[in-house]
């Protein structure tokens, strides 16, 4: 059985096998992201219940583990309610645009080293990070269009507000990673991981988060911008319940609301994956030789496991912070972005450039 499969695989032309394996990888990646999405929601609800001394959803399946399935079925079969006053085309388009960037951004994340002969990245682009930022910048349309299409005051205000928030922190995010690329010298994300292998001081990982003060500062700015870009507390102004009753998506219900919800959580997963890749060594661990491309099947699986584990830790942090922090006021948010983080990121670029130049001159 296995032999015949092997023979069949060896008989394929390079283009065919590339197509086959890339599609398999894409489907698996996608399935993993959807599973993570489903269980991040459960995790969020259970953890928040625990923090607030409640029990949380525990009825559907053991420990409430089937809750996401129940939620999905409910969202799907609820009455598809499109209010009469909305602009129908944009109203349908907005939740779609919320999902599409999330799927597209999956492509460049290196989620493992090698498995057999296959590299564990869907599309190894040489413009890596620029592609990510380009796709992320398209996500703002879902919010603007949702606000505009709802043809109602709260969503309109919420949409305008959160798009201004997204674009402000996009700058902070883009500028914060430039020191990293000064160190790496390549935009490709695999090169970024390669630059983080090995150890420093004998045992500490050589990850960018602790490699130098500049890269640590870069990480801090990126982290804050990541919270703002994913609309998570303390930056969840779009769903400021007290002022806007939910922001850009209040006119939405049933499956369309579920799609916004899904897009939001997928973005959270992707931004965690980006942080792991850029600052926490991606799929590597500096010990036991785990920072080199795997030669065995088991090693490859282990690398993927390491990557997912790191992403999971970030997701827990996202959830944890949501239930620990109050929300910023809008003016505080804009001031923080434009008058603190952007100057800080610029100064960071400057210091890193001077440092590297001085280093190379020695």
Residues 176-235 interacting with other proteins (rule: CB under 8 A): 178-179, 181-182, 184-187
Residue 280 DSSP SS3: coil
Asked if 137 is part of the footprint of other proteins (rule: CB under 8 A), the reply reads yes
**Which residues 234-273 are close enough to bind other proteins by CB under 8 A?**
245, 250-251, 254-256, 258-259
**CB count in 10 Å sphere of residue 361:** 6
- Report how far residue 124's alpha carbon sits from residue 113's, in angstroms, rounded to the nearest whole number: 12
Query: Given the complex with other proteins, which of 104 and 315 has the nearer CB atom?
Result: 104
Query: Given the complex with other proteins, which of 218 and 319 has the nearer CB atom?
Result: 218
- Report how far residue 129's alpha carbon sits from residue 166's, in angstroms, rounded to the nearest whole number: 18
Query: Given the complex with other proteins, which of 138 and 297 has the nearer CB atom?
Result: 138
Asked if 114 is part of the footprint of other proteins (rule: CB under 8 A), the reply reads no
Per-residue x/- marks for other proteins, 63-82, CB under 8 A?
Answer: -------------xx-xxx-
Task: State the SS3 of 119-185.
Answer: ECCCCCCCCHHHHHHHHHHHCHHHHHHHHHHHCCHHHHHHHHHHHHHHHHHHHHHHHHCHHHHHHHC
**Which residues 3-22 are close enough to bind other proteins by CB under 8 A?**
18, 22
- Residue 30 corresponds to which tokens in the numbers above? 């996608």
Asked if 99 is part of the footprint of other proteins (rule: CB under 8 A), the reply reads yes
State how far the alpha carbon of 146 is from the alpha carbons of 153, 157, 160, in Å.
12, 11, 10
Binding residues with other proteins: total (CB under 8 A): 93
Asked if 349 is part of the footprint of other proteins (rule: CB under 8 A), the reply reads yes
If you count them, how many residues does the chain have? Answer: 362
**Residue 195 Cβ, how far from other proteins at the closest point, in Å?**
12
Query: Given the complex with other proteins, which of 49 and 178 has the nearer CB atom?
Result: 178
- Report how far residue 21's alpha carbon sits from residue 19's, in angstroms, rounded to the nearest whole number: 6
Asked if 148 is part of the footprint of other proteins (rule: CB under 8 A), the reply reads yes
Instruction: Give exposure, 178-195, as e/b (b: 16+ Cβ within 10 Å).
Output: bbbbbbbeebbbbebbbb
DSSP bridge pairs for 15: none
Which alpha helices (H) appear in 249-341, and where do they start and end? Answer: 254-279, 297-322, 330-335
One residue of 115, 120, 144, 228 binding other proteins per CB under 8 A: 144
Query: Given the complex with other proteins, which of 58 and 152 has the nearer CB atom?
Result: 152
**Which residues 41-60 are close enough to bind other proteins by CB under 8 A?**
none
Q: What is the DSSP letter of 235?
A: S
**Residue 126 Cβ, how far from other proteins at the closest point, in Å?**
6
One residue of 42, 122, 268, 319 binding other proteins per CB under 8 A: 122
**Residue 203 Cβ, how far from other proteins at the closest point, in Å?**
28
The secondary structure element, H or E, covering residue 87 is none
Query: Given the complex with other proteins, which of 83 and 198 has the nearer CB atom?
Result: 83
Selected range binding other proteins among 55-63, 161-169, 231-239, 317-325, rule: CB under 8 A: 161-169
Query: Given the complex with other proteins, which of 287 and 357 has the nearer CB atom?
Result: 357
Query: Given the complex with other proteins, which of 54 and 153 has the nearer CB atom?
Result: 153
- Residue 338 corresponds to which tokens in the numbers above? 């434009």
Scan for tokens 């804050």, then name that residue: 224
One residue of 113, 162, 163, 233 binding other proteins per CB under 8 A: 163
């Amino acid at each position: 059985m296995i032999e015949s499969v092997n023979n069949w695989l060896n008989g394929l032309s390079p283009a065919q096998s590339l197509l086959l394996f890339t599609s398999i990888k894409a489907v698996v990646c996608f399935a993993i992201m959807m599973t993570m999405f489903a269980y991040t929601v459960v995790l969020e609800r259970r953890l928040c219940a625990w923090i607030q001394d409640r029990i949380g959803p525990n009825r559907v399946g053991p420990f409430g583990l089937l809750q996401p399935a129940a939620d999905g079925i409910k969202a799907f079969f609820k009455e598809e309610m499109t209010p009469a006053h909305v602009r129908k085309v944009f109203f349908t388009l907005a939740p779609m645009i919320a999902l599409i960037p999330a799927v597209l951004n999956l492509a460049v994340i290196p989620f493992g080293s090698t498995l057999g002969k296959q590299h564990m990245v869907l599309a190894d682009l040489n413009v890596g990070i620029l592609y990510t930022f380009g796709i992320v910048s398209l996500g703002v349309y879902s919010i603007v269009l949702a606000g505009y299409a709802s043809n109602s005051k709260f969503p309109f205000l919420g949409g305008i507000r959160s798009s201004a928030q997204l674009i402000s922190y996009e700058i902070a995010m883009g500028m914060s990673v430039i020191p990293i690329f000064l160190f790496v010298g390549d935009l490709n994300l695999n090169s970024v991981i390669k630059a983080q292998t090995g150890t420093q001081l004998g045992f500490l990982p050589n990850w960018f988060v602790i490699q130098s003060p500049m890269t640590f500062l870069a990480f801090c700015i990126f982290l804050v911008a990541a919270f703002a870009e994913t609309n998570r507390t303390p930056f969840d102004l779009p769903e400021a319940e007290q002022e806007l009753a939910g922001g850009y998506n209040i006119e939405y219900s049933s499956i369309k609301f579920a799609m916004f919800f899904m897009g939001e959580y997928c973005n959270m997963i992707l931004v965690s994956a980006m942080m792991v890749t850029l600052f926490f060594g991606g799929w590597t661990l500096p010990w036991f030789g785990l920072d080199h491309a795997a030669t065995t099947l088991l090693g490859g699986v282990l690398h993927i496991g390491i990557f997912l584990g790191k992403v999971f830790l970030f997701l827990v942090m996202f959830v944890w912070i949501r239930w620990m922090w109050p929300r910023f006021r809008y003016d505080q948010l804009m001031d923080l972005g434009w008058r603190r983080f952007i100057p800080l990121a610029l100064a960071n670029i400057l210091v890193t450039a001077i440092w590297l130049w001085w280093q190379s001159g020695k």
